[in-house]
Amino acid sequence: MYRPEIKVIDCTVRDGGLMNKWQFDDKFVKHVYNALTEAGVDYMEIGYLSSESAFDRKEYGPWKFCAEADLKRIIGDSEKKIKFSAMADIGRIDYDDIPLRSDSSLDMIRVACYVHQVDAAIALAEHCQDKGYETTINLMAVSTVGIRDLNEALEDLSKSRVPIIYLVDSFGAFYSEDIDALAKKYFERLPDKTIGVHCHNNQQLGFANTISAIINGINYLDATLYGIGRGAGNCPLELLLSFLKNPKFDVRPIVKCIEAEIFPWAKKIDWGYSVPYMTSGVLNQHPRAAMALMESENKEKITEFYDSMVNSTDSL
Amino acid sequence: MYRPEIKVIDCTVRDGGLMNKWQFDDKFVKHVYNALTEAGVDYMEIGYLSSESAFDRKEYGPWKFCAEADLKRIIGDSEKKIKFSAMADIGRIDYDDIPLRSDSSLDMIRVACYVHQVDAAIALAEHCQDKGYETTINLMAVSTVGIRDLNEALEDLSKSRVPIIYLVDSFGAFYSEDIDALAKKYFERLPDKTIGVHCHNNQQLGFANTISAIINGINYLDATLYGIGRGAGNCPLELLLSFLKNPKFDVRPIVKCIEAEIFPWAKKIDWGYSVPYMTSGVLNQHPRAAMALMESENKEKITEFYDSMVNSTDSL
């Protein structure tokens, strides 16, 4: 699939950081930065934009905040050849704490929101736009949203100045047919917008659903090295780059970085397909219960977990 | 997706056995047998049908042979409520070693062949049919077959008495668009046949490609518990049953069996997605080199492996 409009956004540090409170050391982040640059990836989402008053630096690593000094340390003295993105969650960042783009190494700010937060998300994203940033709104957990609420949110988004809207499968609940149907709806309701996709791998469909999105005309594609990310993880970047036939991409630096930096983390934290994540995905539930199980000593007690999830969903 | 014609074939023992020379003990095979029966799965492919003169029982476990005494021990005294299948490889079974179906607990024999072996496969499959078995021919590695050879093979198969023909992605090289294109071709060239699909997971597309096959009208679906199988493994049965909306299927016994029987094997043998299997899949190569690496001490040296595979493919 060669389409020059396609942009690849690597979320390794940002989404992977959900599994270790962004405690990646500089060596890790620099290697990822260099590998993505060499591989021709368009954006590196390096973390969250959060106010220092909202989270403690003793608990959270630098990529929970994306302070300019931290970004500068990663870039070093050479020219930055990849765009930096940071994600902002509604209510966790004060407008005043967002620098002007001209004072920042960030290029894009992506605002993640649930459907009931769309108005607040538009206000925040447009504020970032006015400060000079590229912006997106990433509408999360749409697998749980009723059709009227979704239509209303898309209506609001269509009227906003935010140019890029993301379809997000937060719970890893979607099949390719769901991506087909939602992509068609997003294009119909958001005729002037660029659409992006962010998939999770609960049902081993993160990559497949990203391909479905591409086939449907979606051009902003999220992925991570070796799929690292919350719970079942994300669409693996190495698979996505191998699929995209754009000659600007090179998968080899990604393989090298996985070997050097991701494998050590794979021994310390658990992400990727497992039956508990499958269970929450199939039942269209937040992965938090599955994550709690996978972080406990009971991670192999999958039948007990399956029963508890099925029972709690039946009694909704 | 509810379609009563759909049949699910579990290949846990047969394809998983490629990773341990079929050294599953009776407790394992009995648990899989009971779980599949309770789950409503249609067929259990319990192993290969091989002549005892061709392989040594000291090296290979019982499921390399599927002798009647071994099958009987698994079934025990209760009525068998699931069909048994065995796979036969061309040249590894003497016709005389195949019992009549009336003397066997096997219900189906599936003949696996490469495109140049189609005539021999038809002869063997029709021989099995004449002995009373249901039969299929599983045409392997079609991702490497030129269009004229494939058309000729399909022409031969269409004239045979074998009722079920499998589309097999032996190398895990296919994207859903390949499945779409090949399924259309198979239906066009084999108008009187039932079509089956067997996918591998090198690109995390085993399940997704099985869904594509279903959407295209393919009705015989192969899967294994937790995806156990050669190299990157297969379409995970627990995902497939969760996707199929046929009320006859129940995923819980599968989850329980994974917990009890598959997890211990997951600590001993390595199957599932990894960068070496991705590499061979993307390059449309046999997984043997990736398997050799994954079984060696160098399994994390993925960059060196990637380079060697790319170089050897470039110089084809």
Residue of B nearest to A274 (CA): B226
Q: What domains can be seen in chain A, in order of their start residue? A: 7-266 (3.20.20.70), 275-314 (no CATH)
Best of B2, B200, B254, B273 to mutate (most A CBs within 10 Å, chain A): B273
Burial A174-213 (b: 16+ CB within 10 A, else e): bbbebbbebbebbeebbeebbbbbbbbbbbbbbbbbbbbb
Rounded Cα gap, residues B111 and B118, in angstroms:
10
Read off the pLDDT of residues B217-247 as tens digits, 9 standing for 90 and up.
999 999 999 999 999 999 999 999 999 988 8
What was the ipTM of the complex prediction?
0.95
pLDDT at B91: 87
**What pLDDT does residue B112 have?**
97
Residue of B255, B307, B311 to mutate when probing chain A, most A C-beta within 10 A: B255
**Interface residues of chain A, partner chain B, Cβ below 8 Å:** 175-177, 201, 203-209, 211-212, 215, 226, 236, 238-239, 242-243, 251-252, 255-256, 258-259, 263, 272-273, 275, 278-279, 282, 300-303, 306-307, 310
pLDDT at B315: 61
Residue A118 DSSP symbol: H
pLDDT digits (tens, 9 = 90+) for B130-167: 999 999 999 999 999 999 999 999 999 999 999 999 99
- Put simply, the answer to whether B211 touches A175 (Cβ < 8 Å) is yes
Identify the H or E element spanning A187: helix A176-189
3-state SS record for chain B: CCCCCCEEEECHHHHHHHHCCCCCCHHHHHHHHHHHHHHCCCEEEEEECCCCCCCCCCCCCHHHCCCHHHHHHHHCCCCCCCEEEEEEECCCCCHHHCCCHHHCCCCEEEEEECHHHHHHHHHHHHHHHHCCCEEEEEECCHHHCCHHHHHHHHHHHHHCCCCEEEEECCCCCCCHHHHHHHHHHHHHHCCCCEEEEECECCCCCHHHHHHHHHHCCCCEEEEEHHHCCCCCCECEHHHHHHHCCCCCCCCHHHHHHHHHHHHHHHCCCCCCCCHHHHHHHHCCCCCHHHHHHHCCCCCCCHHHHHHHHHHHHHCC
User: Are A242 and B203 inside 8 Å of each other by CB?
Assistant: yes
- Is the per-residue pLDDT at B278 higher than 70? yes
- What is the band of B316 on the pLDDT scale with cuts at 50, 70, 90? low
| B85 pLDDT tier (thresholds 50, 70, 90) | very high
Place of tokens 């060669």: A2
**Given an 8 Å threshold on Cβ–Cβ distance, is A207 in contact with B212?**
no
What single letter denotes the amino acid at residue B103?
Answer: D
Helix axes B147-159, B118-130, angle to 10 degrees: 20
Distance CA B186, CA B142 (A): 12
In order along its 316 residues, chain A shows pLDDT tens digits of: 678 899 999 999 999 999 999 999 999 999 999 999 999 999 999 999 999 998 999 999 999 999 999 999 999 999 999 999 999 989 899 999 999 999 999 999 999 999 999 999 999 999 999 999 999 999 999 999 999 999 999 999 999 999 999 999 999 999 999 999 999 999 999 999 999 999 999 999 999 999 999 999 999 999 999 999 999 999 999 999 999 988 899 999 999 999 999 999 999 999 999 999 999 999 999 999 999 999 999 999 999 999 999 998 876 5
Q: Which of A65, A259, A217, A162 is nearest to B279 (CA)?
A: A259
Chain A partners within 8 Å of B243 (Cβ): 175, 203
pLDDT at A197: 98
Q: Chain A: nearest CA to B29, how far in angstroms?
A: 19
Three-point CA angle A24, A30, A31, nearest 5°: 95
CB A193 within 8 A of CB A157: yes
For residue B198, the model assigns a pLDDT of 98
Percentage of chain B beyond pLDDT 70 is 99
Residue A43 dihedral angles phi and psi, to the nearest 5°: -135, 145
User: What's the pLDDT at A1?
Assistant: 62
Residue B222 phi/psi, 5° resolution?
A: -95, 145
Interacting residues of A242 by C-beta distance below 8 A, sequence separation 6+: A251, B203, B278, B282
Structure tokens at A260: 């050097």
Q: Which residues contact A233 (CB under 8 A, 6 or more apart)?
A: A200, A201, A206, A224, A227, A271, A272, A273
pLDDT at res. B121? 98
- Name the token pair of B72: 């009987």
Confidence of residue B313 (pLDDT cuts 50, 70, 90): confident
H/E element holding A305? Answer: helix A302-314
